[in-house]
Structure 1
Amino acid sequence: MALALATGSLQSYDCTLATPYSISEVEGRVGGNPISFSGSAGAGAWQFVLGYDGEYGEVIWPDSPMQLSGKGSLIQTGPQDFAFFLVSKGPCLFTEGHCGSLVQFSQKQDRSMDLLLSPIAIIEMENGERRPFNVYLTGKCSEKKAGQ
């Protein structure tokens, strides 16, 4: 179940993601390409609430186009830097089976946060083979004020 965002020990943020990118290597060169979506995964769909306390991180995103929602064990990776992993059942945006994403965030001096999502992703090639591919989504989060 969802963490109680009303508790005093939980910090919560409104987050917005930028355009997703895929990263690939072709002939020894690494490059990024934007991934565009239409319909329910369009521009307005990439907003959610992120909360965390000392033990768990949580994403509250009822209409997530990438099935990213729930809570996971939080690890501290730096002084104001954290990460957690979320898993959910499919169907998924970037896989044919279950979904998984690494959620990483860093709090800045103004209490806003920079965010990086790294979902598990596969792609079907023209010959029918499937291969893993890298997808990343960056974003910004602003602290929710008391009572929001």
Structure 2
Amino acid sequence: MDVSKGIALALTVWMLVALACLPAHVDGVGIAPNSLGCVGFSPSRALPVTLEALRADPMRYHGRLVRVRGAYVESFEMSALHPGPPVQDPWAAEGVWVNGIPVTALPSEQAVELTGIVAAGRPAFPYGKGHLGQWPAALCVSSIQPLPTP
């Protein structure tokens, strides 16, 4: 491996480690997202919506700032907000896809209130959102509020 490729690889690894190690700080309103492409907004300006309503008509909320509750599930190729907790089958796509949450910021199936901008998908692959386009909408998160487990 020549020196320039080694330096580029080392810098890439360093940047990925730095991003993964960003602190999930608490500023009185919950965990701060990593903001990778997700703009920060005040949760008080968001439209409260249920996960069921968002799933039923994602185009109604497309481009809007919403606040929604559910159980956040994160694993290999998975970042989604589901009804619950508990989550019966995380791959059933019963929720919405989530972008902008730092890796390992929350335990899996943590009850949360997320605030973010909705991007509606079309009903069939490849026009849906998230993994394999199977999700009806994606939420680009600007605020995360962990909730007590019911």
Q: TM-score, normalised by structure 1?
A: 0.26
More strand by share: 1
Structure showing the higher helix proportion among its residues:
2
Which fold has the larger relative contact order, with Cα–Cα distance below 8 Å and residues 6 or more apart in sequence?
2
